[in-house]
Structure 1
Amino acid sequence: MRSQRFALTDPLPAGRMLLEASAGTGKTYSIAALVTRYVAEQDVPISRILVVTFTKAAAAELRDRIRGRLAHAAEALRQILAGEVLAAEDDAVLLHLTSGSHVELSERFRRIERSLAEFDTATIGTIHSFAQTLLSEQGVAATTNPDATLTEDTTVVVEEALADVLARRGTQHLPVVDPKTVVDAAQLALKKPDSVLSPTRAEIDTARATRRSKDFLESADALAESADVVAEVVNRVTMVRRNRAVLSFDDILIAARELVTNPRSGQRAVAEVRSRIDVALIDEFQDTDGTQWEMLDALFGKTEATLITVGDPKQSIYRFRGADIKAYLASSDSKDAERFTLGTNFRSDPVLLAGTERLFEGTTFGDPRIGFEPVMSGKKESSPLLVRGHSASGVELRAFSNSRIPAEPAKEATGADIARLVVEHLEHGQVPHAGGHRAIQPGDIAVLVRSHGHVDAIHRSLTQAGVPVVIGNVGSVMSTEAASQLFALLQAVAAPARPRLVRAAALGWFCHKTWEELDGIEPDQPGAGVVADLQVMFSEWAEVLQKEGLPAFFDRIWQYKDVAVRLLESGQGERSLTDLNHIRELLESDGSSQQVHRLVERMEQLMTDVEEDADAELFARRTDSDDDAVQIMTVHAAKGLEFPIAIAVGLGAAPTNRRPTSFDQPDGTRTVIFGAAKAWERKDLDPLIKDEEKAEQLRLIYVAVTRAIHKSVVYLGSKPGDAPLSRLLFKGKAPATGEGVMAALQPRVIESDGAFRVTVIDENCPPARWLGATSQEAPVLRVATIDRVFDRDPQRWSFTRISGKRIHPGDHTESGSSVALQDVGPEQGATDEATPDGLTVDDSDAQGSPLPLGNIAGGAAFGTMVHGVLEAVDFAAPNLQSELATHVGNAVAWSNWKIDPAELTHGLVSAIDTPLGPLFDNRPMRSFDSTNVLDEMTFELPLAPSVPPGRRPTGTDVGQLILAHLPPVSPLRKWAEQLANNAINVNLAGHLTGAIDGIFRVSAEGRHDRYVVVDYKTNRLGAYGSPLVLHDYSQANMATAMAHHDYPLQALLYAVALHRYLRWRLGDTYDPATNLGGAAYLFVRGMIGPETPPSGSAVHGVFSWPIPPELVVGLSDLLHHGQRIEAVG
């Protein structure tokens, strides 16, 4: 099915649009451009645009690209409006945005500047974070536990469930059950609650009467046992997760789907999302699944919202993670969806695009609707890659002269040929650069593999050829030499009395002994003394592990004989040390036992599971060096990346060992099949599953080939048979010889006019050597010299940290004040009330006070207790006294304080019944029910995210801004003057975090809702040693306390957080002038109930500050941009 071509300057889409973005056509660029156009041209606020992708890294990149795109457009418009000449641009979208009348451009500039100021309100994240937000906003309408913990990895829970099931069934079942198969099958089934497991015991019993397969009959009993165990594990995990309140990412998506498709709750949930989202863009749509699509379709499919799904079905390669290409096709078949494609490739050279077209012409990737469509080159001027002065082909296929060589020799031969190919290009190749050419460097080349099987041979051949090479995220670290070396050492430490194990460890990396030193084992032979010394040392190491833990244990090993230094002096030292540190980190984070034999068991388990876990992200080998080197990585890891030259290896054959797999049938039923292919064949599903596997194999080849900028090389491999690559090239089985391959593909080679080439390779060619390789002598190690200046401004700030930077703390406070520090530690959201200097709680003479809470001693723990009670209670509860008594009783029971619960309950009731003054229409807390109070709102705000050093906001800037908005008679003016005079000398960059005790919504008929920041304080404000009296909580005394501890700054920062929250939550109806209600600090000891007398225009115990809305907005802009935003036009 051919799609219409879409240009980014075409009319903006409305309704549903499917945008296919083939490799290199600029998918992320296009999303950022569309967002910018919707903001600038249609005045869609950034807060009403949803952008969803599938990984945190992709979400972070999208966020940066969209912000950068907006900023670039704003700067271009500013230059045009200021009469400046715009620099030469070939950006069609930017030229489009800067074309128009002065009025139009001014309006676009204003809109884009507003979007930058409000960028923190943009919803740009993963599909899982969007679903989680959707559930939290719906509250009780959602079926998930709101207090549940979200976990990324459910493997531990599944493994625990398996251990419980096997323990209950007895040890006789252990030999016939493969734990890895059970865990994998259970996890696949848990992704979809209505999954059907196959085989079941009933299916196996039925098959016994009809099947005569030897493989089946020999394994039937084990299959039946495994079937029972898998079913029990799935049921147990479901129960355990429910009891522990644990949710997986799949649980979140399923719950969100159920919420929006529910006949009763769905309509409301959809309406609420639609009330704040006008445009939704879904990235990497080819990797979605049925659950995700049903959720998105319910939210945006039958509404007036614009839904743009962006992806490339030819790059759908994550079936093992649950991606279902059928969901993509279902969307494309929708009668409401228009299907477009991006037709210009901006990555690759024309010769590479032509070669790719010859390779894939006429190919469909698993479905007739997913066909290969040629794309145009977006490069206006392009020079080809040169080898020995001649233009290189864009795509090269390399085939053995004899394709029947065995697998292992073929891997070695492939590695050797890759080394020869790389050396040829390093010595004689040039890539286009800056209008000319430059020599090819090792870092220009990437070798892409499907799994770790070819990695060692390739790495070894390149290293022997003198070519720098690094391995990135391919293969399991538990299959490396580092794992074997560490395992041998741990075995010796666990059993130092066994000389054979000690000698094996002694010859390894960590002890660095030689055969000559160990030549002997009897007491009178020379080597025995060395072994005995090692035995003593290993025993000491085991004791360190038991007493001090894993970190100290590994530190002792790493320090012995300077193992890191010795490894780095060897040819592959960085690789080895990277693997060792990775394994150490895995074992430490795994919480492995402090008993050395348990540590050995854990290492053995991880190494045993290596074949199945080879592509698991947690165990994937890390890149060992940032130096200029050839990179070896998996195709999956390379997706989204680009390289001047890409070499694809191991893509010629389909997988032969079937792990547990799943298949989604047209009716949506998911079947999880976990029997070995020969033992349990599903004649109804196996052909369909194989077809899907072959289709994904073709898509893997497409992804690998399209990573290249100038040249792509594909190895046919040994025994290609009728594997997907053979079907792609030969429409059937591959010829048995290289000459046969050459002859069969000769027409394509001729038609390509040099863009497509076939090379026959000899598996017995001599090894290559790079003449440009550096000397193989051990490098001289030196201490690194840091010669760059680190930007130390960006930090994680809280009010406490900012206030703690005060140069002269307390010099604006009345002499002799005993005002105690109480603050909400923003990182924890808990009270931090300090007692007077030098005192413990018991030292404080609080007796004789007439105030309800005046006789209870102060301190941080008391403040925390009061905060906890006030956050838990519903102020408007009809049985307030009883509810408070329950919460207070529980709080006191869990503390070691001697507090009379009845006294504290009475005092808090009095505070709750106290009129709060003008900001609250003189209403008490009792008049605010739980729907009008938001407790403990945490926030994380970016500070000066794009502001360079020297222009970042400072404490002085904040003080000057406050001073400009305070009236001359304000009790806070002296405090603001000191703040404006560099009292807090900080550069505010990074993030601001905090937790607001309460946000009160003050509603009245005929008026917009007003939102007030509330902070609870339990400070004792009276003179030390004297009973507290009401006058201690007058407006003047509270103002002194506020200034003493910089509480006005805290109130302002919290008001900025409230401003940004309301701007997102209320959308276009938000007006700071009417919705921002200021801040109130409730000193609860001074709040004595309805009879609390007034103090000036307010009341005792309540310090109210009607913060000017323009001050809040100005401070928000200052903290984000480093300067106030001035309109242009």
Structure 2
Amino acid sequence: MSNPADQTSRDAIIYDTNTSYFVEAGAGSGKTALLVERILTLLIDEGVPLSSIAAITFTVKAAEELTNRLRAAFTEIAEHGTFSRFGDEVRTFDHPQAKTRAEQALAALPGAAIETLHSFCLRLIRMYPLEAGVPPQITTVDEIETSFATVNRADAVIDLVDRIVSDDPTAQDALAELNLGIPFENIKESIAILTEQGLKTADIEKLVLFMDPLWGVLDATVAAPLPSIQFLTRADLESARREIQEWVDLAPGDVVEDKLFQVKVDPLIKELDRLIAEDKPNYDVPAALGLREGNAGNKTIWGVAPKTYRDRMKEIGAEFERKINSPIVRSISVLRRLIATIVRDNAQARRRTGKLEYHDMIFLADELVQIDYVRQELSENYRMVAVDEFQDTDGVQLRIVDAITAGKPGHRFTVGDPKQSIYRFRGANVNTYLSARQQAEKRGELLQLTANFRSDQEVVESVNAIFGEMFASVESDENDPTAPLTVPYAPMEASNSDSGFVAMLRRPEMNSGAGVPELCEHADIISAVKNAEVALSDIAVLVAKNETALGVQKALREHGIPAITEGAEKVYKDPEVEELIAVLRAIADPANGFVEVVALRGLYFGVSDQDLVESHRARRMGSEIAEDHPAIVAAEHLKKLRKRAASMNVAQIVEMVIDELFILGHLARPETVEKNPSIRRVLDDAHAFTNATNAGLSSFLRWAETQTEGFTGVSVPVLDDGTDAVRIMTIHASKGREFPVVILGGLTGEKDRTISHGLHPETGVVEFGLKGIGTDGLDEFKAFEKLATMGENVRKLYVAATRAKHQLIIPLEAKLTGGTPTKPATTYASTQGKYFYDSLNPDKDLIDPRELFSADAVALPHPRPQIDAERIRATYNKNAKDAEAEPPEMRLLTATYFAHAEETAQLAAIRQLGADEGWLTQTTESFFKTDREARGQTFGTVVHEVMDYFAKQGDRSDTDTVPETDTVLNVVTTVASINGLEPDLIDEASSIVETFLNSEIVHAAFAAPHYSEVPIIGTLADTAFEGVIDLLYQDETTGRWVIADYKTDSVVTTQRINEYFTQLQVYAHLLDMDVCRLELLFVDGGVVRCITRGPSD
């Protein structure tokens, strides 16, 4: 394969380690492979220890990928002294210590600084806890607990504001401690003004949630001067009156007949005269004073362009409005200082306790590296700090990296692509990147990677043509410090000679106004999917918003096309979860009759509207109603739930409601069983909330509201089991991935709206408004935000388009607007796809999909190599198919629970059924004790997840393919860190896994057709069951199936073995396949002890 045109830059990245390169890497350029090779040069050729390298990634997943690539590279070099590059090229390391250095790097890999920036900052803080102002032992708080805490902190601010309004003495004490520099009475007056203006608790909460993760950059906000209060006085009115009268007096013509005079000037003079006659100390001029801009006036009559006077009238109006609103603007500024100060104080409290949230790590590390000797020591310790996805950084993160690497050539290495900067909602600032880029270019450190190894020729050329123009069209002003900087477009060069295919679709009926945009777009997507000659799982529909993804999924499924969404289904927007939340609201707020009605008529109480009307009418008329009336029964049930909830914490309340209303049973039907993870997630969140806070149900519900908004809400977990179905996801979710066929969806939807609050682009002060009146810099912020949003929208479309390998389909079905009865519309509506229309020639570039695609094409899932797994799923879905008429007491149980739970009437009935039908029997195995100590549930989880990993690594028929000890240890270390297993148990877990892997029974299972972590769902005796089979494999002698279960018990009793086999017998029965054997696999004395029985022995 010939070298790409940018090979010189690639060689410099790999071999020139004494220059701090700023690499601009286009989509599909292979940047991660180059970063790996630069690290290899430092470690293997130059002998730099891995502990002196920091590689900072944007996501945990990216860190894991880089770690895995390095592990593979170190392993290969340690064994052969070579490294296999892309294609058939091999890099040979000639240094005599190359293999030894690779072995050393491999050993050091588990503790290497290959991690996200948050983790790297935490590493620095732990190195210097005293200097960072934290205790020696610090703990980190995960995102879910942080979100709980933030909502609680917002509640605390709201409570303080309430106490200020009510003149509570404790509020004065609290404000005195904050040292705001504002008298209490002024604060109280400001809040009263804002309350009259319409301030709501939601406004305060929004500001706290915005400022909380930004506490480290709030100094400018706290220090921002409070604007003075100005009044509109009689002198102001008189001055305006004189100026306007001069226009009339100096006009060369007769203004009386002029429209500008009649409509604007004369009415304004008369209104000013009326106000001046009132002789008040200050005025509140009505908005309809006549100062609006218009287009009337004759230049000959006035002697100047009428626009000059119209503009001046507008300026006068703005001056009047500024003075009238100044008390409100000052009050908003007081509230801003109050909240910012509280947010900073909260952060300092977390610092003192050592309980750190993610954003704390960044800001504390930023403060830390400003200490001279700390910065010097870190600079000497780290030979290279590499930053991937540098376009998604911000000023604080850049400052940290610069502090460690400044003045050290080759110590900093950054890789990014400004065209892919799409994380502004997380604080990423492309201006930071572009400013750093300008400095790097001046120093001669800028390198550009333009070769694209991902996409076919036509895809690359089309993306260049479209987006080259689209990026150039984004508005900016290089001379305005408050304007976003322009992102340059560097054309890509296709390294793949295959032709590829790109089509931009539009139906003629859209031009005549007869088409419905969303329906036409869905039709385009369906046609493209049906005609794509690839597996459905090779097709990705990429959209900007989660709601759009769900709409596309529905349209595809309605046409018989399997489709799954990734991350689009928000847990707290799930209808079944919303119904649960409705019940919880009714419990939390018993005085609110409306929420009670919503709960009673919902899914889980199921009272009809007619029954509710009858109950309401009976209460109103004072007439009797039967005690067993559905509305009365449900209301009484709700009352009992409220009474019981009074003495419970949040987790107990949620668990009680789920249990009492048989919610999991309601959802056990085949068509709704997939909703179970969402309900379980709510329960998990309730437990986490209870563990993290002392707050009650109302606070939990307030937090749940925040999970329905934008990018913040938790998503329904998606298990991608290889199902042949179209993938639908947001553009953000597609970042870093590639697909054979990409279809852009949602282009008929509205453009993203700009946010109403944020940091001023130049001063860094928080700007926000209330009811159209805002802080002094709000207008400048909004102007910046409008341009920044436009630029990011273009970049998101670029990211989406560059995910395509072979085919890129772009449906463009927006409405045409601006037409009249005599003139056809020619302007495309302002939609997500508007940027495409502005960059294309509609007559030349747009194709009618009916001319391109066959209407007879049918989308069929491609045959899967694991066809037996499909039969398994079909079988246990079939088991639950007739469950629609299940009794209300139906509950979803796990097979594990059934096996180990104390006997109940329900469980006894199921056991009797199993005994009668012959598939459930007891064992007489003897008690035994292994040579190990009990290690708990987390230990077992780690072992199971690692075994699942190796089970999916392909054919193990060759003895040489058994993983090496170091490989096992590395995987266990990674999984252990994810699950929080104590470090001193990692070696033992590795030993257990290695014993399993080297056993004859597991080795034979992995060599045969096998499946790991197989989900089971079905019904027994009208009870829904679920579970997971650790290992299902085919016996090579009989061709029948074996169910195996890994066990990490230290003490094994006869009862415990009976319970385990009961669990496996349930699996075998629900599986409804030809199962010949059940196996329990224990590790004892360094070998695997297998206890075996038939499925119904």
| TM-score bracket, shorter-length normalisation | 0.5 to 0.7
State the Cα distance separating 1:693 from its structure 2 match. 2.1
Q: 1:6 aligns with which of 6, 9, 15?
A: 9
State the Cα distance separating 1:321 from its structure 2 match. 2.0
Query: CA contact under 8 A between 1:351 and 1:394: conserved in structure 2?
Result: yes
Partner of 2:914: none
1:670 aligns with 2:743: no
What does 1:234-313 align with in structure 2 at a 5 Å threshold? 234-244=340-350, 245=352, 247-261=356-370, 265-266=371-372, 268-313=373-418
Q: 1:642 to 1:768 in 2, by over 3 A?
A: same
Cα distance in 2 for residues equivalent to 1:520 and 1:131: 63
Structure 1 window deviating more from structure 2 (156-165 vs 212-221): it is: 212-221
State the Cα distance separating 1:657 from its structure 2 match. 4.8
Query: CA contact under 8 A between 1:53 and 1:283: conserved in structure 2?
Result: yes
1:316 aligns with 2:435: no
Partner of 1:780: 878
State the Cα distance separating 1:312 from its structure 2 match. 0.8
Partner of 1:619: 714
Paired residue secondary structure (2:491): coil
Q: 2:493 aligns with which of 373, 376, 380?
A: 376
Paired residue secondary structure (1:631): strand
Q: 1:17 to 1:784 in 2, by over 3 A?
A: farther
What does 1:608-1007 align with in structure 2 at a 5 Å threshold? 609=706, 613-616=709-712, 618-623=713-718, 626=721, 627-650=723-746, 654-665=751-762, 669-675=763-769, 678-680=772-774, 682-716=778-812, 718=814, 734=828, 757-759=846-848, 780-781=878-879, 807=931, 952=965, 988=991
Cα distance in 1 for residues equivalent to 2:659 and 2:140: 38
Q: 1:720 to 1:683 in 2, by over 3 A?
A: farther
Partner of 1:1089: none
State the Cα distance separating 1:278 from its structure 2 match. 1.9
State the Cα distance separating 1:289 from its structure 2 match. 1.5
Query: CA contact under 8 A between 1:464 and 1:769: conserved in structure 2?
Result: no
What do the CA deviations read for 1:1051-1090 (whole angstroms, capped 9, x no partner)?
xxxxxxxxxxxxxxxxxxxxxxxxxxxxxxxxxxxxxxxx
What do the CA deviations read for 1:76-113 (whole angstroms, capped 9, x no partner)?
537x9xxxxxxxx7736x83423x7xxx2654333222
Q: Which amino acid aligns with 1:295?
A: I
Cα distance in 2 for residues equivalent to 1:330 and 1:529: 71
Paired residue secondary structure (1:202): coil
Q: 1:549 to 1:176 in 2, by over 3 A?
A: closer
Partner of 1:346: 453
Query: CA contact under 8 A between 1:286 and 1:323: conserved in structure 2?
Result: yes
**Root-mean-square deviation over aligned CA pairs:** 5.3
Q: Which amino acid aligns with 2:991?
A: L
Q: Which amino acid aligns with 1:780?
A: K
State the Cα distance separating 1:468 from its structure 2 match. 3.1
Cα distance in 1 for residues equivalent to 2:446 and 2:967: 51
Cα distance in 2 for residues equivalent to 1:187 and 1:734: 40
Q: Which amino acid aligns with 2:495?
A: G
Partner of 2:980: none
What do the CA deviations read for 1:520-571 (whole angstroms, capped 9, x no partner)?
5458777953333323333333344344544454444444575435435364
Partner of 2:334: 228
1:202 aligns with 2:227: yes
Q: Structure 2 length as normaliser, TM-score?
A: 0.59
State the Cα distance separating 1:770 from its structure 2 match. 6.6
Q: 1:599 to 1:569 in 2, by over 3 A?
A: same
1:163 aligns with 2:158: yes
State the Cα distance separating 1:16 from its structure 2 match. 0.9
Partner of 2:502: 394
Cα distance in 2 for residues equivalent to 1:506 and 1:295: 55
Structure 1 window deviating more from structure 2 (470-479 vs 299-308): it is: 470-479
Query: CA contact under 8 A between 1:485 and 1:508: conserved in structure 2?
Result: yes
Cα distance in 2 for residues equivalent to 1:184 and 1:72: 48
State the Cα distance separating 1:694 from its structure 2 match. 1.6
Paired residue secondary structure (2:487): coil
Cα distance in 2 for residues equivalent to 1:25 and 1:771: 33
State the Cα distance separating 1:300 from its structure 2 match. 1.2
Q: Which amino acid aligns with 2:219?
A: D
* Percent of paired sites with the same residue: 22
State the Cα distance separating 1:737 from its structure 2 match. 13
Q: Which amino acid aligns with 1:155?
A: T
Partner of 1:325: 430
Cα distance in 1 for residues equivalent to 2:770 and 2:504: 37
Query: CA contact under 8 A between 2:151 and 2:209: conserved in structure 1?
Result: no
Structure 1 window deviating more from structure 2 (769-778 vs 175-184): it is: 769-778
What does 1:23-172 align with in structure 2 at a 5 Å threshold? 23-77=27-81, 91=86, 95-98=89-92, 104=94, 107-138=97-128, 140-142=130-132, 150-151=140-141, 153=146, 155-156=150-151, 158-170=153-165
Q: 1:58 to 1:160 in 2, by over 3 A?
A: farther
Cα distance in 1 for residues equivalent to 2:949 and 2:452: 32
State the Cα distance separating 1:707 from its structure 2 match. 2.1
Paired residue secondary structure (1:341): strand
Q: 1:188 to 1:138 in 2, by over 3 A?
A: closer
Paired residue secondary structure (2:737): coil
Query: CA contact under 8 A between 2:742 and 2:803: conserved in structure 1?
Result: yes
State the Cα distance separating 1:479 from its structure 2 match. 3.5
Q: Which amino acid aligns with 2:215?
A: L
State the Cα distance separating 1:601 from its structure 2 match. 6.8
Query: CA contact under 8 A between 1:503 and 1:531: conserved in structure 2?
Result: no
Query: CA contact under 8 A between 1:277 and 1:305: conserved in structure 2?
Result: no
Cα distance in 1 for residues equivalent to 2:802 and 2:126: 41
What do the CA deviations read for 1:815-837 (whole angstroms, capped 9, x no partner)?
xxxxxxxx999x99xxxxxxxxx
Query: CA contact under 8 A between 2:221 and 2:766: conserved in structure 1?
Result: yes
Q: Which amino acid aligns with 2:26?
A: S
Cα distance in 2 for residues equivalent to 1:824 and 1:422: 52
Q: 1:673 to 1:768 in 2, by over 3 A?
A: farther
Paired residue secondary structure (1:97): strand
Q: 1:424 aligns with which of 500, 504, 527?
A: 527
Query: CA contact under 8 A between 1:953 and 1:988: conserved in structure 2?
Result: no
Query: CA contact under 8 A between 1:448 and 1:649: conserved in structure 2?
Result: yes
What do the CA deviations read for 1:981-1002 (whole angstroms, capped 9, x no partner)?
xxx99862689xxxxxxxxxxx
What do the CA deviations read for 1:362-416 (whole angstroms, capped 9, x no partner)?
4347677632222233336x474xxxxxxxx3253558855898xxx99xx5553
Q: 1:476 to 1:198 in 2, by over 3 A?
A: farther
Paired residue secondary structure (1:619): coil
Query: CA contact under 8 A between 1:56 and 1:125: conserved in structure 2?
Result: yes
Count of aligned pairs between the two proteins: 754
Paired residue secondary structure (2:878): coil
What does 1:444-593 align with in structure 2 at a 5 Å threshold? 444-474=538-568, 476-493=570-587, 505=599, 507-511=601-605, 520-521=614-615, 529-547=629-647, 549-559=649-659, 562-569=662-669, 571=671, 573-574=673-674, 576-591=675-690
Q: 1:176 aligns with which of 170, 178, 199?
A: 199
Paired residue secondary structure (1:6): helix
Cα distance in 1 for residues equivalent to 2:122 and 2:73: 28
Query: CA contact under 8 A between 2:754 and 2:786: conserved in structure 1?
Result: no
Cα distance in 2 for residues equivalent to 1:460 and 1:165: 46
Q: 1:240 to 1:653 in 2, by over 3 A?
A: same
State the Cα distance separating 1:291 from its structure 2 match. 1.8
Query: CA contact under 8 A between 2:158 and 2:205: conserved in structure 1?
Result: no
State the Cα distance separating 1:59 from its structure 2 match. 2.2
- Residue segments in structure 1 that go unaligned for 5+ positions in a row: 81-88, 385-392, 432-439, 723-731, 751-755, 788-803, 810-822, 829-941, 956-983, 992-1118, 1120-1129
What does 1:1012-1023 align with in structure 2 at a 5 Å threshold? none
Greater helix proportion: 2
- Residue segments in structure 2 that go unaligned for 5+ positions in a row: 167-191, 233-283, 286-314, 477-483, 819-825, 863-869, 881-891, 897-927, 940-945, 951-959, 969-986, 995-1085, 1087-1097
Q: Which amino acid aligns with 2:427?
A: G
